[in-house]
Amino acid sequence: MMEYIEITSDNAEDFAAFIDEDMCDNLDRTFFRGLGAVDDSGTAVGALVYELKDSESEEDTKSRVRVLAGSDDVKEELMTRYTEDIYDEEVIESFYESADEVMSKTLQADGFSFAESEALDLPVSMESIQKIANTLKVTKMPTFIKPLSEISVLQYRSFVKNCLFKGNRGLVDDLAYLPKNWFEIDVSSCAVDNDEVNAVLLLKRAPSGVLYVLLYTAFGPDAKKNLSFLIANTAQKLLQKYPPDTKIVIRRHNEMVTKLTAKLFAGTKGDTVFSGNRREA
Amino acid sequence: MMGIHQITIYSNIVAIMLVLGVIVLALRFRIKDELEKKIFIILPVVLILMAALYIVSAYRDAEVLKVSAMGATLIETGLEYFINLFAIQWFLYVDYRMFHSVLHIKRNGLFFVTGFAILMLLDTINIFTGILFEFLDGVHYVETPLYVVTDLLRLVYFFGSIFALMYYRRKDERMKFFHVRSFFIPLAFYVLLIYLTPLNTVSLGLAIGITLIFVQMVNEQCYQDAETGFYNGLYLDYLKGRIKTDDYALESVILFKFSKGDMAKSAELITKQLPEECQTVRLSGDTVVTLTHVKDRSPLYMVSEDVQMSLEEVGIPVDVSIELKKKKESGSEFLDRILRKA
């Protein structure tokens, strides 16, 4: 007899066979939900992780299925429970994007559409970062460009508020709930004007060692200039701190990032992924 | 003394009187940003010096004041310096008015100043060489083609600043009370007069422009509640019109209700926590509403938590509530609902 439970950071380790360490780390976050299946003996036999989008606004709430693993029966039951859960959350559409073909087929059988394409996630090597550092060579970094570690909690919070009020949150839907130290504070960069942060490039180091670029934004009169300095500073810090085999991932979630990455990392392509969506009741 | 010189003298005297009045009123005028006031006041001060030199040069032109060719050149050079100084100060004022950032001025100061610094250098060289203009005697003025080019450079700067201002005005709510045409229309009119007539009444155009800018500063205050510095009911009426025409996208509000406490102090603490995009209006003695474009609860929660904490620290109790516009509700319907609730 299966039992279906909530997966949190407390019991995520039990589902390590189905959820990788990076995704386990996300289960602590505000909009991530985990559903797990355990058998009679309490052994994990399957897992589903999803992420809610726009759930705190009056806009339509969507859900991204991140992980679906286990035997066919378990996955089917997990999807049934998922559908009930998202009904309570008033989700109007579910979608997925994954390199996992098995998961894709399961979701397709459950009413999701299917498409195969290049992933929005772009893997970037340290070699590319070195090229950027050489191109954007800044002999003396301006003093108003600082690592995230050098700004205070109040400055960070004030920046987050300003950012959210301007509608900029990058890839971090739960930016309002994340402390400064959740990000990679030595490599992430900020621009400070008159004691206020007005530009950032924020990265997160996942447990697997991969660095994810999560927020790259600037506002104010010198926004464009600051953006260039941020890239130069972060590139320098990355090369100083991390070994040559470190992987960095940039998600091309909007046109601006797509154009910038095409320029900075010409010729680099994302992996093939499967994606689709499903309208919910 | 012939008529045109008298007109020049009288127009400059009027300009001086006008901006003297602006200086006196501006010094007594309370404005939130004292640095903005200081930067603004330099404009009329420079204008007075410029107008004074225009008067002297008018007496020289009329041959009432007899000077040598060098003397005439020095007077004219002084005038050129003050025109350039005025232009630099104008750009600094507008830049600060737009961005309230001293760092931005420092970072872009070179850009603003370079063109005019080059002009001033040329003016200085001109004293000894006549490369821009010269006086054949103390009266007859000859300008060289290079002078025409330098004049064009000034025009390029001015037109560039008009476009920059118009661009930022569309993007930035803070600029809504700064109608740049108030400055440029009188200036343009009087500059045209220079090319179409023998009259030189540029100072009067600048003085009128400065006065209108000051009037706008005062006008902005009419929309402000004297005690708290927040906007008042008059501003809310203005905003209702914009919301009705979808010119202002109202998506959410934060409502603050006070039962007691120092409203001025509360306002100071609330303002510190609010991003600049927020428009805060005092609805009544003890109720304040912040209007925002935000569609999401999390930033509103952040602000309300920070406000509550900072007010509690000074012993001011406040009830804070958040409302989001519903999907099928228009901005006007949403605002009406909030005002009924308040």
Reported as a single tens digit per residue, the pLDDT across B307-339 is: 999 998 999 999 999 999 998 899 999 999 999
Cβ contact, residue pair A222, B295, below 8 Å: no
Confidence of residue A108 (pLDDT cuts 50, 70, 90): very high
> Which candidate, B293, B282, B279, B290, places its Cα nearest to that of B325?
B293
Looking at beta carbons, which residues of chain B come within 8 Å of A156?
Answer: none
Residue B324 DSSP class: E
Fold of B233-341: Alpha-Beta Plaits (3.30.70)
> Which candidate, B133, B153, B129, B136, places its Cα nearest to that of B144?
B133
Statement: residue B170 has pLDDT above 70: no
Residues A180, A204: Cα–Cα separation, whole Å: 11
Cβ contact, residue pair A144, B103, below 8 Å: yes
Residues A95, A112: Cα–Cα separation, whole Å: 8
Domain membership flag for residue A84:
yes
Q: How many CA atoms lie within 13 A of A198 on its CB side?
A: 20
Same domain, A137 and A247: yes
Statement: residue A140 has pLDDT above 90: no
Residues A174, B11: Cα–Cα separation, whole Å: 62
What was the pLDDT predicted at B176? 65
State pLDDT tens for residues B17-56.
Answer: 999 999 999 998 877 778 888 999 999 999 999 999 999 9
Same domain, A128 and A247: yes
Domain membership flag for residue A87:
yes
Domain membership flag for residue A256:
no
Interhelix angle B34-61/B69-99, rounded to 10 degrees, is: 160
Statement: residue A221 has pLDDT above 80: no
DSSP of chain A = --EEEEE-TTTGGGGTTTS-HHHHHHTTSTTEEEEEEE-TTS-EEEEEEEEEESTTBSSPEEEEEEEEEE-HHHHHHHHHHHHHHHHHTTEEEEEEEES-HHHHHHHHHTT---EEEE-SEEEE-HHHHHHHHHHT--SS--TTEEEGGGS-HHHHHHHHHHHHHTT--TT-TTGGG--GGGS-TTT-EEEEETTEEEEEEEEEE-TTS-EEEEEEEE-STTHHHHHHHHHHHHHHHHHHHS-TT--EEEE--SHHHHHHHHHHTTT--PPEEEEEEEE--
Strands A121-124 and A248-251: antiparallel
Looking at beta carbons, which residues of chain B come within 8 Å of A144?
Answer: 103
Structural domain tally of chain A? 2
In sign, the C-alpha dihedral spanning B19, B22, B23, B24 is positive
Domain membership flag for residue A266:
no
In sign, the C-alpha dihedral spanning A110, A113, A116, A122 is negative
B102: Cβ contacts below 8 Å, ≥ 6 apart = A194, B35, B96
Same domain, A126 and A91: no
Residue range B175-197: average pLDDT?
73
Residue range A57-63: average pLDDT?
89
Residues A217, A230: Cα–Cα separation, whole Å: 10
Check CB contact of A228 with chain B, cutoff 8 Å: no
Integer Rg of chain A from CA: 20
Check CB contact of A139 with chain B, cutoff 8 Å: no
B97-117 in b/e burial notation, b at 16+ Cβ within 10 A?
bbbbbebbbebbeeebbebbe
C-alpha dist (Å) from residue A206 to A22, A107, A203: 6, 27, 10
Nearest to B101 among A160, A164, A220 (CB): A220
Residue B296 DSSP class: B
Instruction: State whether residue B160 is helix, strand or coil.
Output: helix
Residues B37, B31: Cα–Cα separation, whole Å: 7
Strands B141-143 and A61-70: unpaired
Six token digits for residue B60: 């020289």
Cβ contact, residue pair B103, A176, below 8 Å: no
- Tell me which of A161, A162, A193, A198 to substitute to probe the interface with B (most B C-beta atoms closer than 10 Å): A161
Q: Which residue of B has its CA nearest to A54?
A: B296
Same domain, A247 and A128: yes
Contact A123/A248 with Cβ under 8 angstroms? Answer: yes
Six token digits for residue B242: 């914009």
- Tell me which of B168, B296, B301 to substitute to probe the interface with A (most A C-beta atoms closer than 10 Å): B296
Residue range B204-215: average pLDDT?
90
What was the pLDDT predicted at B202? 85
Cβ contact, residue pair A194, B294, below 8 Å: no
Contact A39/A63 with Cβ under 8 angstroms? Answer: no
Domain membership flag for residue A42:
yes
- Domain edges within chain B: 3-222, 233-341
State pLDDT tens for residues B230-256.
Answer: 999 988 998 898 888 888 889 999 999
Domain membership flag for residue A268:
no
Residue range A245-251: average pLDDT?
95
Same domain, A65 and A89: yes
- Tell me which of B107, B174, B294, B298 to substitute to probe the interface with A (most A C-beta atoms closer than 10 Å): B298
Return the number of CB contacts < 8 Å for A and B.
Answer: 72
Confidence of residue B221 (pLDDT cuts 50, 70, 90): confident
CA A99 to chain centre: 16
What was the pLDDT predicted at B102? 82
Check CB contact of A100 with chain B, cutoff 8 Å: no
Contact A218/A255 with Cβ under 8 angstroms? Answer: no
State pLDDT tens for residues A168-209.
Answer: 888 999 999 999 999 999 999 999 988 899 999 999 999 999
Domain membership flag for residue A269:
no
Statement: residue B177 has pLDDT above 90: no
CATH of the domain at A25: 3.40.630.30
Confidence of residue B275 (pLDDT cuts 50, 70, 90): confident
Contact B234/B242 with Cβ under 8 angstroms? Answer: no
Q: How far is A227 from chain B (nearest CA, A)?
A: 15
Contact B12/B55 with Cβ under 8 angstroms? Answer: yes
What was the pLDDT predicted at A115? 93
What was the pLDDT predicted at B169? 58
Cβ contact, residue pair A165, B294, below 8 Å: yes
Contact A35/A23 with Cβ under 8 angstroms? Answer: no
Same domain, A143 and A227: yes
Mean pLDDT of chain B: 86
Give me the sheet containing A121-124, strands edge to edge: A121-124, A248-251, A211-218, A196-205, A189-193, A145-147
Strand ranges in B61-140 using DSSP code E only, listed in sequence order: 133-135
Check CB contact of B272 with chain A, cutoff 8 Å: no
Q: How far is A226 from chain B (nearest CA, A)?
A: 11
> Among the residues of B130-144, which ranges form H helices?
none
Residues A278, A115: Cα–Cα separation, whole Å: 13
Confidence of residue A11 (pLDDT cuts 50, 70, 90): very high
Cβ contact, residue pair B104, A225, below 8 Å: no
Mean pLDDT of chain A: 93
Strands A272-279 and A91-98: antiparallel
Same domain, A91 and A136: no
C-alpha dist (Å) from residue B184 to B175, B180, B192, B319: 16, 6, 12, 47
CA A76-A98-A264 angle, 5° bins: 170
Fold of B3-222: Rhopdopsin 7-helix transmembrane proteins (1.20.1070)
Six token digits for residue A82: 């998922």
What was the pLDDT predicted at B167? 67
Residues constituting chain B: 342
Confidence of residue A127 (pLDDT cuts 50, 70, 90): very high
Same domain, A247 and A126: yes
Residues B305, B320: Cα–Cα separation, whole Å: 9
Same domain, A198 and A218: yes
Cβ contact, residue pair B103, A58, below 8 Å: no
Instruction: State whether residue B252 is helix, strand or coil.
Output: strand
Nearest to A56 among B98, B275, B298 (CB): B298
Looking at beta carbons, which residues of chain A come within 8 Å of B277?
Answer: 165-166
Contact B165/B98 with Cβ under 8 angstroms? Answer: yes
What was the pLDDT predicted at B175? 56
Nearest to A193 among B101, B296, B299 (CB): B101
Q: How far is B236 from chain A (nearest CA, A)?
A: 21
Residues A119, A125: Cα–Cα separation, whole Å: 16
Residues A55, A44: Cα–Cα separation, whole Å: 29
Cβ contact, residue pair A225, B107, below 8 Å: yes
Same domain, A17 and A88: yes
Domain membership flag for residue A267:
no
Check CB contact of B43 with chain A, cutoff 8 Å: no
Same domain, A114 and A140: no
Integer Rg of chain B from CA: 26
pTM: 0.79
Nearest to A165 among B101, B297, B299 (CB): B299
CATH of the domain at A165: 3.40.630
Check CB contact of B270 with chain A, cutoff 8 Å: no
Residue range B161-177: average pLDDT?
64
Percentage of the residues of chain B whose pLDDT score is greater than 90 = 35
Residues A37, A45: Cα–Cα separation, whole Å: 6
Residues B164, A29: Cα–Cα separation, whole Å: 43
State pLDDT tens for residues B282-307.
Answer: 998 889 999 999 998 999 999 999 99
Residues B105, A81: Cα–Cα separation, whole Å: 58
Q: Look up the domain containing A17 and give its range.
A: 3-119+274-279
Check CB contact of A167 with chain B, cutoff 8 Å: yes
**Residues A16/A19/A25/A27 CA torsion (nearest 10 deg):** -110
Confidence of residue B168 (pLDDT cuts 50, 70, 90): low
